[in-house]
């Protein structure tokens, strides 16, 4: 054998390939020099090169714990496989091109052989390396225990899968890695599944599951990898509200990559996505801009066409945000649309033309608002806008038109008129006439009475066409919203109010009536209609009784087989039914006519009170509406509930504006709020009003309005109201039933922030149990565990079913079956079941309690301490007990709120003296309920803050153990506190800020029996105040026979070493 042959064998053999790989990995040879050598070896001996690469891959995976070195080596091997396969593909293409060029039989034969040879080499290296790495990773349903080895294998499989498409085993392995307990491995698996996400349904399902991963990086990678389609759009859109900006940004990057997928997005979802241009994070705004630009380009470069795809009327605030973002991003197109619809029209009939959708006018209005003042005045043509507004108003009166649609168009035009500069006298008169026409004939907004007491409902009402018309009337009178009060200003206010009240008199007493309406001249128009409705109600009731009587007579006639009499009764029943139908139809007509007049009048009064800066005591027209319109309207016979709620809302606005009016109506507001408790006692769930509203919803709407009014009046008119009246407002807000607790959360927060010092001073003199109770359940609401609705229902039902007062044989069955929502108030987590509102309210309550200790004065931190003590003393702490719930063959432990989170939150924000009180009430629970306290994780909560334990905590714990607390559960806590002498035990004095603490003489904790009796007494006192604590948290809960697994791990309940063979 010659020397050249020997050298060539060394270079092309397996050892030569391994040597080149080793030198490149160790850095002795650069990758640029190593790859050509390996290519030369691969051409001569492909099997040896594949064997060398696989052998080196084995070393890399085995030494995966080397960290970055192993990762770089694995990357190099993947690059080698990719390079060799790519060069083989090029050789195949060149061979195929040569065959096509030469065309000779000889070349064809040679080329065919070459092609077959190269075809064999195309995927040899990558596929062989992939299958070898799969073998090293354990294969199907098997994996290494070392997370470094799993991570290295997952990385190499994820990188090789795109080079070997359609490899089923690699895909299945990545699906397994996507469920790994290590987040970094899950993230690498998600990146690998990107290559098959478009063709594999299993990969799409796995990626959809990872979009809700607890790790931010995994969620971001899954969102970026998941293709947009009809089946995945819903999952992707859920990430628009992700708390992490990187996840939201990756969502928009994914959408920008597939602009054609805009057709898969619904109108509401598209509006929410476009509103991402207003995100608080700049990187998300930039990513959203890329997605919007891609959509606009896909739709032909027209931003208005994109906006027309959005739902702009379902959620008007969201639609306005989306339109404003597009107008700001495309100012030139916005200016063009604004000039088209709001500028001077060259065609006379153009002003009467209405757009085909809400998008053009909304886009035009927001684009005009973004212009400079000079540009806006040059572009707007107020006279054309007024004519277009008249056209919209006339269209709304025609039969078969949608009032909501035209109301939206009308409000957009009124917004523009309110912004325009009206300096011409003729134009001013036209604008004023338009405003009066709108007040008289514009369609009324359709607002559910349940929304009247909410912030969202109040905002919607304040943006109605009636409100905008009031703003325009004030504008033409020379008035603005915020103006320094002067005598001249007050004169203008009184003149403007008198003008609007005169219009009210015309609305309430119309000159023309229908043929069936009789005007006697003795009663106002609405009173006459109300009397007609009352007469019709009496007639309907009479015919209804006659119908029931005829039905009974018919049954008796049929029973005795008197068919002739039964036939006569049937004819009488038919006539009676016909008369009854006519009476109901007439009642609906008269009721609609009466309610339209009343609601229009009330909405004008409400808008006037909202926008007026007048001193109502010096404004006789405005102040006179209280005695001349509102109070008589309350006493109308057969008053519908919708009008009743609107009247109460208007009276509450008067109370907020004037302290004397509030003082006069204070008892009325308290009585309406207390009807919530009466409704719970009288069980009004199934009662329905004449209007079709559930009576319970009407009572709740009235109470919500009065609750806000009481809190606002107390804050605004504290100098006029007496302290007893201010305290009475908090007492009434505090005793609401469990199902109506959401009604009073915001008013209570406002009251405590303003009058917390007053409550604390009165509480030191005489305990105000109901207000302290309110602090407690509000704190529980702040830390309520947010779960899906079914889990929340199960948690409350478990507490009910595990109560010792229930039948034992049904307890286990009820815990497994889906509970009936109507069984009890405790089984209803939220009345309306809106999870987003629930989460937002919990966040606001957390902010409230975090702000409470920072308030000026010394009452903030003690109020937080009183809230925790209230939870412990009245039994609300039982809502934090973990209870087993079986579903899908697994046992889950559920609770309503987390005691450790609540206790840690309060412990960090109070002084050391008050911390002692928190420890005392917590340990008292451990004494009174030694079996349930560990399930509420009270020992764990105390152990978590043991480093900041107050002085005397060790003595307090020792006393609790002596009184019967669970020594095993409190063992970890005892080991973290200072050890006390065996005999000498000194109890510290009661410390605090003067809040009375009860206990046996010389003792800080009560005995178990005394503690249970104290809780019963507390519940009895609250019951006397009208609070049904049992509906919030049952007093007796059956102790589960098992212990949560994580509790066993914390307590160290493991098998002894001898059972495992020793060490």
- Residues 226-247 have pLDDT tens digits of 988 888 888 888 898 888 999 9
Q: Which residues contact 24 (CB under 8 A, 6 or more apart)?
A: 30, 31, 34, 76
pLDDT score of 521 more than 80: no
pLDDT score of 5 more than 50: no
pLDDT score of 13 more than 70: no
State how far the Cα of 207 lies from the Cα of 741, in Å rounded to an integer: 39
- Residue 1046 — very low, low, confident or very high, per pLDDT cuts 50/70/90? confident
- Residue 78 — very low, low, confident or very high, per pLDDT cuts 50/70/90? confident
pLDDT confidence of residue 330: 93
State how far the Cα of 814 lies from the Cα of 826, in Å rounded to an integer: 15
How confident is the model over 925-951, as a mean pLDDT?
91
CA–centroid distance for 598 within its chain: 35
373 and 447 Cβ atoms separated by less than 8 Å: no
pLDDT score of 14 more than 50: yes
How confident is the model over 106-128, as a mean pLDDT?
50
How confident is the model over 687-710, as a mean pLDDT?
82
1015 and 1035 Cβ atoms separated by less than 8 Å: yes
pLDDT confidence of residue 905: 94
358 and 312 Cβ atoms separated by less than 8 Å: yes
Which tokens sit at 141?
């349903």
pLDDT confidence of residue 441: 87
797, with CB counted inside 10 A (0-12, 13-18, 19+), is: buried
pLDDT confidence of residue 534: 87
897 and 778 Cβ atoms separated by less than 8 Å: no
pLDDT confidence of residue 140: 80
pLDDT score of 792 more than 50: no
Q: If you average pLDDT over every residue of the chain, what do you get? A: 81
**800 compared with 784, residue with greater pLDDT:** 784
Which tokens sit at 375?
């540009």
pLDDT score of 990 more than 60: no
Ranking 189-198, 409-418, 717-726 by mean pLDDT, the lowest is 189-198
Which tokens sit at 589?
């007509």
Ranking 50-54, 826-830, 956-960 by mean pLDDT, the lowest is 826-830
State how far the Cα of 569 lies from the Cα of 108, in Å rounded to an integer: 103
Which tokens sit at 214?
């607890």
pLDDT single digits (tens) 888-922: 677 788 888 999 999 999 999 999 889 999 999 99
Beta bridge pairs of residue 890: 887
- Residue 144 — very low, low, confident or very high, per pLDDT cuts 50/70/90? confident
pLDDT score of 114 more than 70: no
pLDDT score of 344 more than 70: yes
- Degrees, nearest 5: CA angle 955-957-961: 115
Which tokens sit at 783?
């830390």
pLDDT confidence of residue 836: 53
pLDDT confidence of residue 488: 87
How confident is the model over 174-182, as a mean pLDDT?
88
Identify which of 299, 203, 305, 293 has the alpha carbon closest to the alpha carbon of residue 252.
293
pLDDT score of 958 more than 80: yes
**Does an H or E element contain 601, and which?**
helix 563-611
- Residue 653 — very low, low, confident or very high, per pLDDT cuts 50/70/90? very high
- Residue 841 — very low, low, confident or very high, per pLDDT cuts 50/70/90? confident
Q: Report residue 523: phi and psi, to 5°.
A: -125, 155
pLDDT confidence of residue 346: 52
pLDDT confidence of residue 453: 64
**515 compared with 959, residue with greater pLDDT:** 959
pLDDT score of 561 more than 80: yes
How confident is the model over 968-974, as a mean pLDDT?
89
State how far the Cα of 416 lies from the Cα of 387, in Å rounded to an integer: 13
pTM of the model: 0.79
State how far the Cα of 403 lies from the Cα of 736, in Å rounded to an integer: 38
pLDDT single digits (tens) 615-639: 899 999 999 999 999 998 888 888 8
pLDDT single digits (tens) 544-554: 999 899 898 88
Ranking 1-10, 463-472, 567-576 by mean pLDDT, the lowest is 1-10
Length of the chain, please? Answer: 1063
CA–centroid distance for 136 within its chain: 46
Identify which of 436, 366, 443, 340 has the alpha carbon closest to the alpha carbon of residue 398.
443
Using a pLDDT cut of 90, give the percent of the chain over it. Answer: 33
pLDDT confidence of residue 297: 93
299 and 263 Cβ atoms separated by less than 8 Å: no
- Residue 23 — very low, low, confident or very high, per pLDDT cuts 50/70/90? confident
pLDDT single digits (tens) 357-368: 889 999 999 999
pLDDT score of 833 more than 50: no
How confident is the model over 399-409, as a mean pLDDT?
66
- Residue 717 — very low, low, confident or very high, per pLDDT cuts 50/70/90? very high
Ranking 106-120, 128-142, 884-898 by mean pLDDT, the lowest is 106-120
Structure-token match 């309005």, residue found: 705
How confident is the model over 695-706, as a mean pLDDT?
88
pLDDT score of 678 more than 90: no
- Residue 865 — very low, low, confident or very high, per pLDDT cuts 50/70/90? very high
Which tokens sit at 353?
């033309």
- Residue 350 — very low, low, confident or very high, per pLDDT cuts 50/70/90? low
User: Alpha-carbon dihedral of residues 61, 66, 68, 70, nearest 10 degrees?
Assistant: -30
354 and 396 Cβ atoms separated by less than 8 Å: no
pLDDT confidence of residue 685: 55
CA–centroid distance for 173 within its chain: 37
Beta bridge pairs of residue 884: 893
CB-side neighbour CA atoms (13 Å) of 49: 26
How confident is the model over 48-59, as a mean pLDDT?
84
Identify which of 388, 384, 396 has the alpha carbon closest to the alpha carbon of residue 427.
384
Which tokens sit at 582?
């006519």
pLDDT score of 119 more than 90: no
Identify which of 437, 477, 460 has the alpha carbon closest to the alpha carbon of residue 600.
437
Pair type for strands 890-894 and 883-887: antiparallel
pLDDT confidence of residue 352: 64
Ranking 336-340, 382-386, 676-680 by mean pLDDT, the lowest is 676-680
- Degrees, nearest 5: CA angle 526-531-533: 95
pLDDT score of 307 more than 90: yes
CB 507: neighbour CB atoms within 10 A?
Answer: 18
State how far the Cα of 743 lies from the Cα of 732, in Å rounded to an integer: 12
pLDDT score of 10 more than 80: no
Using a pLDDT cut of 70, give the percent of the chain over it. Answer: 82
- Residue 303 — very low, low, confident or very high, per pLDDT cuts 50/70/90? very high
Write the CA distances from 1019 to 343, 416, 643, 664, 1039, integer angstroms.
69, 58, 39, 34, 21
Which tokens sit at 1042?
């098992």
> Helix 425-441 crosses helix 382-397 at what angle (to 10 degrees)?
20
Write the CA distances from 48 to 40, 41, 115, 811, integer angstroms.
12, 8, 21, 70
State how far the Cα of 863 lies from the Cα of 852, in Å rounded to an integer: 8
CB 82: neighbour CB atoms within 10 A?
Answer: 17
Ranking 81-90, 455-464, 974-983, 1051-1060 by mean pLDDT, the lowest is 1051-1060
């Amino acid at each position: 054998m010659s020397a050249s042959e020997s050298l060539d064998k060394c270079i092309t053999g397996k050892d030569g390939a391994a040597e080149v790989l080793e030198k490149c990995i160790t850095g002795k040879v650069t990758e640029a020099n190593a790859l050509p050598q390996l290519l030369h070896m691969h051409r001569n001996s492909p099997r040896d090169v594949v064997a060398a690469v696989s052998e080196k891959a084995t070393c890399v995976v085995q030494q995966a714990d080397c960290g970055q070195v192993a990762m770089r080596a694995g990357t190099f091997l993947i690059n080698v496989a990719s390079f060799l396969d790519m060069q083989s593909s090029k050789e195949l293409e060149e061979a195929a091109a040569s065959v096509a060029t030469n065309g000779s039989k000889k070349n064809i034969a040679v080329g065919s052989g070459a092609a077959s040879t190269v075809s064999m080499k195309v995927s040899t290296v990558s596929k062989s390396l992939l299958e070898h790495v799969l073998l090293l990773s354990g294969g199907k349903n098997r994996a290494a225990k070392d997370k470094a080895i799993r991570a290295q294998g997952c990385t190499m499989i994820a990188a090789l899968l795109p080079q070997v498409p359609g490899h089923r085993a690699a895909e299945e392995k990545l699906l397994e890695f996507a469920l790994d307990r290590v987040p970094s491995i899950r993230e690498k698996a998600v990146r690998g599944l990107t290559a098959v996400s478009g063709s594999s349904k299993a990969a799409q399902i796995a990626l959809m599951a990872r979009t809700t991963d607890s790790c931010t990086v995994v969620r971001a990678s899954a969102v970026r990898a998941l293709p947009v389609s009809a089946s995945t759009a819903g999952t992707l859109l859920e990430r628009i509200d992700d708390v992490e900006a990187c996840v939201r940004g990756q969502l928009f990057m994914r959408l920008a990559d597939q602009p054609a997928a805009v057709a898969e997005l619904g109108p509401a979802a598209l509006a929410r996505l476009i509103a991402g241009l207003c995100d608080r994070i700049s990187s998300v705004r930039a990513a959203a801009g890329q997605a919007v630009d891609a959509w606009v380009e896909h739709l032909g470069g027209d931003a208005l066409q994109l906006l027309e795809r959005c739902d702009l009327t379902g959620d008007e605030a969201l639609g306005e945000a989306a339109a404003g973002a597009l107008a700001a991003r495309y100012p030139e197109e916005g200016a063009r649309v604004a000039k088209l619809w709001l500028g001077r029209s060259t065609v006379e009939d153009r002003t009467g033309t209405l757009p085909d959708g809400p998008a053009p006018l909304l886009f035009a209005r927001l684009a005009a608002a973004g212009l400079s003042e000079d540009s806006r005045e040059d572009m707007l043509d107020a006279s054309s806008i007024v004519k277009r507004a008249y056209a919209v108003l006339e269209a709304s009166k025609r039969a078969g038109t949608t009032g909501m649609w035209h109301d939206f168009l009308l409000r957009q035009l009124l917004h523009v008129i309110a912004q325009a500069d009206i300096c011409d006298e003729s134009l001013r008169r036209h604008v004023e006439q338009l405003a009066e026409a709108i007040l008289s004939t514009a369609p009324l907004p359709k607002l559910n009475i349940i929304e009247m007491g909410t912030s969202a409902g109040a905002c919607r009402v304040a943006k109605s066409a009636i409100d905008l018309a009031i703003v325009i009337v004030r504008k033409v009178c020379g008035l603005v919203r915020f103006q320094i009060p002067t005598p001249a200003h007050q004169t203008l206010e009184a003149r403007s109010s008198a003008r609007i009240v005169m219009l009210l008199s015309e609305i309430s007493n119309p000159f023309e009536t229908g043929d069936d309406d009789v005007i006697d001249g003795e009663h106002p128009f609405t009173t006459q209609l109300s009397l007609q409705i009352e007469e019709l109600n009496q007639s309907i009731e009479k015919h209804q009784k006659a119908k029931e009587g005829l039905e009974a007579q018919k049954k008796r006639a049929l029973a005795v087989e008197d068919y002739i009499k039964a036939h006569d009764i049937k004819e009488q029943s038919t006539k009676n039914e016909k008369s009854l139908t006519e009476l109901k139809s007439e009642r609906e007509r008269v009721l609609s006519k009466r309610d339209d007049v009343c609601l229009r009048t009330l909405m004008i009064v409400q808008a006037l009170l909202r926008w007026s800066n007048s001193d109502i005591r010096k404004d006789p027209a405005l102040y006179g509406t209280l005695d001349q319109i509102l109070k008589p309207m309350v006493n109308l016979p057969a008053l519908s509930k919708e009008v009743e709620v609107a009247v109460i809302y208007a009276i509450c606005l008067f109370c907020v504006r004037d302290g004397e009016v509030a003082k006069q109506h204070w008892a009325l507001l308290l009585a309406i709020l207390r009807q919530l408790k009466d409704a719970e006692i009288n069980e009004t769930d199934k009662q329905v009003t004449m209007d079709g509203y559930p009576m319970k919803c009407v009572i709740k709407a009235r109470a919500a309005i009065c609750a806000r009014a009481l809190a606002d009046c107390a804050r605004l008119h504290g100098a006029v109201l007496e302290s007893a009246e201010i305290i009475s407002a908090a007492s009434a807000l505090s005793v609401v039933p469990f199902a109506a607790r959401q009604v009073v959360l915001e008013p209570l927060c406002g009251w405590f922030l303003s009058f917390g010092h007053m409550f604390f001073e009165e509480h030191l003199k005489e305990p105000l149990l109901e207000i302290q109770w309110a602090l407690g359940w509000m704190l529980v609401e702040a830390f309520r565990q947010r779960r899906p609705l079914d889990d929340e229902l199960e948690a409350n039902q478990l507490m009910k079913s595990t109560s010792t007062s229930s039948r034992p044989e049904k307890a286990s069955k009820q815990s497994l079956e889906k509970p009936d929502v109507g069984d009890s108030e405790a089984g209803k987590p939220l009345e309306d079941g809106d999870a987003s509102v629930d989460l937002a309210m919990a966040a606001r309550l957390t902010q409230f309690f975090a702000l409470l200790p920072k308030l000026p004065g010394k009452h903030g931190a003690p109020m937080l301490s009183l809230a925790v003590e209230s939870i412990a003393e009245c039994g609300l702490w039982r809502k934090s007990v973990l209870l087993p719930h079986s579903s899908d063959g697994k046992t889950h432990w559920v609770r309503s709120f987390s005691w450790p989170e609540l206790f840690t939150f309060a412990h960090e924000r109070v002084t050391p003296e008050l911390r002692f009180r928190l420890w005392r009430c917590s340990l008292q629970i451990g004494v009174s309920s030694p079996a349930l306290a560990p399930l509420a994780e009270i020992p764990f909560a105390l152990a978590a803050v043991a480093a900041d334990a107050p002085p005397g905590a060790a003595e307090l714990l020792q006393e609790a153990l002596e009184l019967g607390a669970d020594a095993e559960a409190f063992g970890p806590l005892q080991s973290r506190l200072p050890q006390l002498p065996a005999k000498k035990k000194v109890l510290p004095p009661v410390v605090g800020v003067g809040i009375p603490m009860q206990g046996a003489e010389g003792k800080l904790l009560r005995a178990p029996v005394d503690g249970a009796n104290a809780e019963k007494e507390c519940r009895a006192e609250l019951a006397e105040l009208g609070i049904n604590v049992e509906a919030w948290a049952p007093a007796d809960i059956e102790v589960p026979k098992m212990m949560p697994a994580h509790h066993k791990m914390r307590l160290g309940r493991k098998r002894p070493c001898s059972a495992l063979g020793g060490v």
